[in-house]
Structure 1
Amino acid sequence: MNKASSSFLRLWMVAGILANPAMALASTQRADAPSSSEASTLPEPASLPVGRHATWASDAPAGVDRQATVLPQDDEGFLLVYAQYAGGDMDSSRLMQIRSPDGRHVSPPIPLSFGSTLEDAPVLARSGDQAWLYFAASEGDYRNLKLWRAQVNREGFLQPQRLPHVQGLKMLTQSPRWVRAGEDLFLTFRGSGSGPQWLSLRGGHSPAAVTTLVDTAVAYPRVVPMGGGGCFFSYQRVPEGGYMTTLYRVSPDCRTWAEPIELAPATPPNKTDVHDGFALPRPEGGVDVYYVYPSFKGSSAPFPVGFNLYRRAIDVHGAQGPEQLLTDPISYNPFAPSAHRMADGTVLVTFSDIQQSSDQGVSKARLTLFRVAGDAPAASVQRSGGGDDD
């Protein structure tokens, strides 16, 4: 059975390097999270890195919240859907939804079901004047996923429609990733032992030819449009002498790709351990990539060693902006981030905040939201001598 992220075992290996190995393998649980009654309002954008005063968090009693998707509304409200691994593993996934009428007041999470045993990989996207929820579902486990979409209206969701079969979409080891691309939808996925596959769903419905992006098996593959007809492709793999690295490639035409570039190289003697890259297109072209890697947080933190959330800009040529720390290291242990551009110009950032874990992986993680006023510092800042913000 696939745990929410087997790479978390590597995090505890890092803990063994930075702290006490016995402590790294011990079961850890935090007890400082606010209740939903204390967190029913999403705060205004705050200075970075954000602490608990600047975030909203769910109060899920168990399970792992992850893979959030957001549909902004014209009145500055939003609909948010996410997957919850009720048993901590992918085969126990169900969908949850949250609504905000004004972008500030946030409803408690409630289950969202279309009748399948397993429902996962949600994404909300507009096509013309219609909004859709795309998701994957199965009556068994991840080996037999089918793709669906359900139209969204103010009252909820209409009857889901089965999408046409996609060649190679079987025996998946991670959830497929969807990204809106104009009137189309990009779909990236990876089956057992295969390299990442990518295609476009024309009009959000009809699959085009499948393209193999990398010949070897990698994790978290995702293709995003980045302006001017180009594309950004990110993925992660185990590097030589490290734990995990996130790489990216850019393409001016979504057909020919530049050589891979490491997103956040480690400074020796540290070892690379960069996870969960999520790219958000920038209005002027390029993307901002949201990602996590671990650090030593100290004995006063709920997790002495854990992840921090960062972002950095990548321009259409692949050049990087300065790294920006987004979350207070003492307050959070984040993974699986996402970012969404809202109607008022702010960016709504989501992540899963680890609450409980052991040497078997993460068993509880809470959906957490916060807003930032704008994008990451542009790549030109880095080229002109700008430094890190953390």
Structure 2
Amino acid sequence: MERVLDVSLDELRSTRTSVKWRRWPQDVVPAWVAEMDARPCPAVVEAVTAAMTRGDTGYTWVQPYAEAASTFAKDRWGWSFDPARVRSAPDVMIGILDVLRVLTGAGDAVVVSSPVYNAFYGFIEGYGRRVVEAPLDESFRLDPAALDRAFGEATREGRRAAYLLCNPHNPTGTVHTAAELTALAALAHDHGVRVVADEIHAPLVLPGATFTPYATVPGGERAVTLFSASKAWNLAGLKCALAIPGGEADDVMRAIPEVATHGASHVAAIAHTAALTDGCAWLDELVRELDENRHHLARRLAAQAPGVAYRPPEATYLAWLDLRASGLGDDPAAALVRSARVGLSSGPEFGTQGRGFARLNFATAPEVLDIVLDRLVGGLSGGEGAALRPASGVSTSAIPPSR
């Protein structure tokens, strides 16, 4: 199997036109948004090319995608669900909103466990709901006491509430255990809170951890899960997701208007189906390379930036860096893009527990990751020249001068 993460910085600069590579000037090396610098999965390329060639570009027929996801889930996680009960959505966040509109009303609360995916806040508040935080504990695990308090606050005076679960967790890379999810389900039941599970990162669980679909734990039957192949196969620009009801969640699905499914892309559904059906070897190679990168990142930070606290994630390709000791303030990413010309995700965007943190995307070639780390280490040491000194064997020919 050929390497997946082997695209050079020169090639990335010249061929990638996505937001990751266009947000900042050319002298900033981006390592922020959850988009991989990966070679495409051949099965996806073949399927999309064939669809375009034959003119198969009409409206979405989601059944093959749902069937492929069901087979994938059963093979990988032992999760069986009926594809006929699955609905399509334009993407995971839009699908989440469709479910939240059913479960909550204007002014009702949606509980999240911060630090958590930054888009949760904007989508929840933008649709007239309020966010209540139930922070993770110091080990980035679900905190039952915090959940109990937040659920109580959210349902005060008999108001309806939902809990938006990120499983695996973004940005920390935590893989919630079956016991933790079972405890969550019990608390949600006690407070009358319905759970919506975002499991978009589920295929990206790394060696040493085991993914548990929320719908498979006792009490998970009343939840709706949102899933997509987009994150694991780097298909963010090909939008299609699946809303998968638990065994006792058909009430929610019936209440979602049929027109809510109309925004999903047919070509995206074809691409995602090919990924889940014929792209598993590509995924396995990607996971192997991500495992290498997360540990390489740990070794370099321990040796060259010991003041940065970092736990290698159990899943995803995202590193949650504790930079509170750096002296760079609440938003170290903002300081580093100026001083080191490296682009990380801003920690405070992930909730109140994100102050002093930054998120680093390590889904890139080892050589590019070393360039990112050279700049990060240099920026933390306070030297502009240090930010541009390469690791051993890494060329600087593709790095524009720092400003």
TM-score, shorter chain, exceeding 0.5: no
Q: Taking structure 2 as the reference length, what is the TM-score of the superposition? A: 0.28
**Largest Rg, 1 or 2:** 2
Q: Taking structure 1 as the reference length, what is the TM-score of the superposition? A: 0.28
Structure number with the higher strand fraction is 1
